[in-house]
Structure 1
Amino acid sequence: MLIVAIAFVVFLLMRMPVAFAIGISGVLFFAQHPELPFTIPAQITVSQTQNFSLLAVPLFILAGNFMNRSGITKRLLELASVMTGRLRGGLAQVSIALSALMGGVSGSAIADASMQSRMLGEDMVRRGFTRGFTAGVLSYGAVLTPIIPPGIGMILFGTIGQVSIGRLFAGGVLPALLLWLALSLAVWLTARSRGYEPERKVRPSLKETARAFKGGIWALLFPVFLLFGLRMGVFTPSEIGAFAVLYAIFIGVLVYREMKAKGFIEALEGSLTDVGAVMFLIALSVIFSYGLVFERVPEVVSGWILGVTENPYAAMILVAVFVLVIGFFIDATVLIIMLTPIFLPVIRQLGGDPVHFGIVFIIAATIGNFTPPVGAAMYAVCSILKCPIGEYTRESKGLLAAVALVVLLLVFLPGIVLFLPDLVFG
């Protein structure tokens, strides 16, 4: 597997698309083992696309695109302004709140960061925020997106690791609120030191607050309906994806009446691109994973970790640090697909809870989207705002520290993650 790993890194450095880098390097494994039929890569790639549980992925992507064109975004922005506009930090606080509210809508950290950069980026700069800090806030706020139902990362982790997706959905809610608090505090401290003023000088009236909550209530109820449907056995994880699509169409067509034929077609076109990229990556990753299993890499890693510690919390920290470092170079989706089969069995063997580990693992993997050298959300935001990567990196240190501290807290306080799953699912 050493040659395969080196080839994978070289392909990434050549800026080859990640799906091809994984697939081609995985095929090299079979070239090293002539005793294995060369038809296996084609067979396992096709069989991976027939995995019924993965049906939730394209359905939730489609639902997210419909929701973004339903008129719900501007209503959530108004709600975020009402909730946090009077906090020191102004639009930066509004951006963090909007990320929390949009988590259940977009499901994608990169999509959320890009959208907010176009909506709020230049307004924040005109209000006196530096471009580096603006880009950092708009980027790191999107760390909330993958762990608020229905985050795609949780669906992938649950499918690959055979972990309850319903419990993962519930487990992400309190950590997301904690991340929101930590990022908001980091923004407040920076704003206080630099003199950034609140966005709103006057407390919103009761009527204005009620109107804002009424406008955003359909988005706020979305994760609740998902958890309720899973808890009551009304839907399977795959079926609830279909419900999400119908829910998004219902909101856009009948409630807000802003989804017209053009927006509907644009949502379909965008979903085709998004689904194709994600599913192609999932399909080709199984070639790479086959080599890992054949060479017993999970057992080797398990043995190494068990040789270092038998404490599940210490093991989880080791995994989180490893994922954080490797996430500087590899996309979060790829990490979840490739590393879940390696690390999850180790945590289970040590007696750790898979839902607790899953949330910590997904957050640690997602951080790589916001850090150099290959953070996809970072590049999207910096490109839109024309912000140098060096300035972005300097101005984002406090936000990175806030997220890292939350991850550390979640490792040692599993009750934060498991309270809601245990309450809802028993």
Structure 2
Amino acid sequence: MNNILLISSVIMLALLFLKVPVYVAVLGGSAFYFFMHPSINTVIFAQQAITGVEKISLLAVPFFICAGIFMNYTGVTKRIMDFCEVVTGRLPGGLAQVNVLLSTIMGGLSGSNIADAAMQSKMLVPEMTKKGFSLEFSSVVTAASSMITPLIPPGIAMILYGVIANVSIGKLFISGIGVGSLLCITMMILVGFISKKRGYGVITSEKMTGEKFMKAFKPAVLPLCLPIIIIGGIRLGIFTATEAGSVAIVYAVFLGIIYKQMHLKDMIQGIKETVTTTASIMLIVSAASAFSWILTKEQIPQQLTAYIMNTINNKYMFLLIINIFLLIVGMFIEGNASMIVLVPLLAPIAKEYGIDEIQFAMIYIFNNAIGALSPPMGTLMFVTCGITKCKTLPFIKEAVPFYILLVINLLLLTYFPPFTTFLVNLFY
């Protein structure tokens, strides 16, 4: 590695740790390289930054963001929550179970873990504390369950990974169903165990009848159809993963008209939110494109691959080391930033070891999700605690069983490929 690349990397990492916006940090490091390198035309810097956001597949990002925002204006959350209450009403820790299941279902509608955590912190945590749940437990369940959102299609993390690593976004969506369901089920088991031990009550002791189920299911059936439409349409070849985003927007508007809860001013506000959110993501992608060009020119992926292949003979040991590394990185660097820098380096190495590209993608995204919950930089932790007014230290202590559960899930994804590949092989 030459001195210019080394200094530019140090500049970028220093800016990231100083909490400078991600795109500024990456562009800052890249700009130093381009302007200080004697044999590179600086025009290439602008070219790479622009062409990085010209990929058609990136259109899926604003489409799904817009669809998720529109969904929040259609009133579907209350309908889904009522349905979840009926399904989980007799389970130990009823409202906590609703919290987990609601995150899983809403993940298929919004794709944003931060939005999910913020919404449920406002809606469910006050109700949970009224029912006798501790504030710490309520906050942890809300933040931890929001981790499921980027794992369930149409998670934005899957779209970005697919674009960066040139992996089928449709296959990632299919894999995400299995991974998200695994985390949902295991988290509900843990929540039930803790609730039973602490005496947190059920929502109702009445047996769920078919009539009650259908009464709750009917108002929720249309929103619940969206993930089915997206996955089904992609698999049947009716539309691509990118085009599925536009279908989701049309469907969200359709629900808004049906439920008569989304008005013109809501649509205008939703479009504004879409533009600002999309702009922040695209700026990161643009910066990453310039940095990826630098790595390619310096042949860093090839050199790193050769070094690791010569040092580590076993792919299982490689996966273990990568997991530990990503868990540490996730504690300090935001998920999208680490993905942009590390995926171009690590994905080719995983391929050389014969690791399935879908499996490695979901392992990486799962590590990122854990990082969003981990101190000292965990965004989900701070968003949830900021709204619920829960102190950080009690939150971390309460979250210990959930961290253990997440590591167990991560090991299952790492060493049992069917958890990530079975549905993909079945559908494709």
TM (norm. structure 2) is 0.95
**How far 1:60 sits from its partner (Å)?**
0.8
**Cα distance per residue 1:119-140 (max 9 Å; x no partner):** 1122222222222222211111
Cα distance in 2 for partners of 1:305, 1:91 equals: 47
Say which of 312, 316, 321 aligns to 1:309. 312
User: Is contact 1:104–1:219 with CA below 8 Å preserved after alignment?
Assistant: no
Q: What's the RMSD between the two structures over aligned residues?
A: 1.6
**How far 1:101 sits from its partner (Å)?**
0.7
Whether 1:235 aligns to 2:235 is no
Residue equivalent to 1:418: 421
Residue type at the aligned position of 1:260: H
Cα distance in 2 for partners of 1:157, 1:333 equals: 9
Query: Structure 2: which 5+ runs fail to align?
Result: none
TM (norm. structure 1) is 0.95
Cα distance in 2 for partners of 1:314, 1:79 equals: 44
Report the more deviating stretch, 271-280 or 302-311.
302-311
Cα distance in 2 for partners of 1:148, 1:131 equals: 27
Whether 1:408 aligns to 2:411 is yes
Residue equivalent to 1:344: 347
Give the 5 Å matches for 1:176-325. 176-254=180-258, 256-325=259-328
Residue equivalent to 1:384: 387
Say which of 28, 31, 54 aligns to 2:32. 28
Cα distance in 1 for partners of 2:248, 2:413 equals: 29
Cα distance in 2 for partners of 1:251, 1:315 equals: 47
Cα distance in 1 for partners of 2:120, 2:99 equals: 7
Whether 1:164 aligns to 2:155 is no
Residue equivalent to 1:18: 22
Cα distance in 1 for partners of 2:240, 2:364 equals: 24
- How many residues are matched? 424
Cα distance in 2 for partners of 1:143, 1:318 equals: 22
Cα distance in 2 for partners of 1:206, 1:300 equals: 61
User: Is contact 1:158–1:165 with CA below 8 Å preserved after alignment?
Assistant: yes
Aligned identity (percent) is 35
Cα distance in 2 for partners of 1:304, 1:88 equals: 51
Residue equivalent to 1:360: 363
Cα distance in 2 for partners of 1:371, 1:17 equals: 20
**Cα distance per residue 1:208-240 (max 9 Å; x no partner):** 211222222223222221122112211122212
**How far 1:154 sits from its partner (Å)?**
1.0
Residue type at the aligned position of 2:48: I
Cα distance in 2 for partners of 1:300, 1:186 equals: 43
**How far 1:283 sits from its partner (Å)?**
1.0
Paired residue secondary structure (1:262): helix
User: Is contact 2:30–2:290 with CA below 8 Å preserved after alignment?
Assistant: yes
Query: Structure 1: which 5+ runs fail to align?
Result: none
Cα distance in 2 for partners of 1:134, 1:297 equals: 45
Residue type at the aligned position of 2:129: V
**Cα distance per residue 1:123-172 (max 9 Å; x no partner):** 22222222222221111101111121111111111112111111111111
Cα distance in 1 for partners of 2:297, 2:168 equals: 27
Residue type at the aligned position of 2:358: V
Whether 1:148 aligns to 2:141 is no
Paired residue secondary structure (1:184): helix
Paired residue secondary structure (1:153): helix
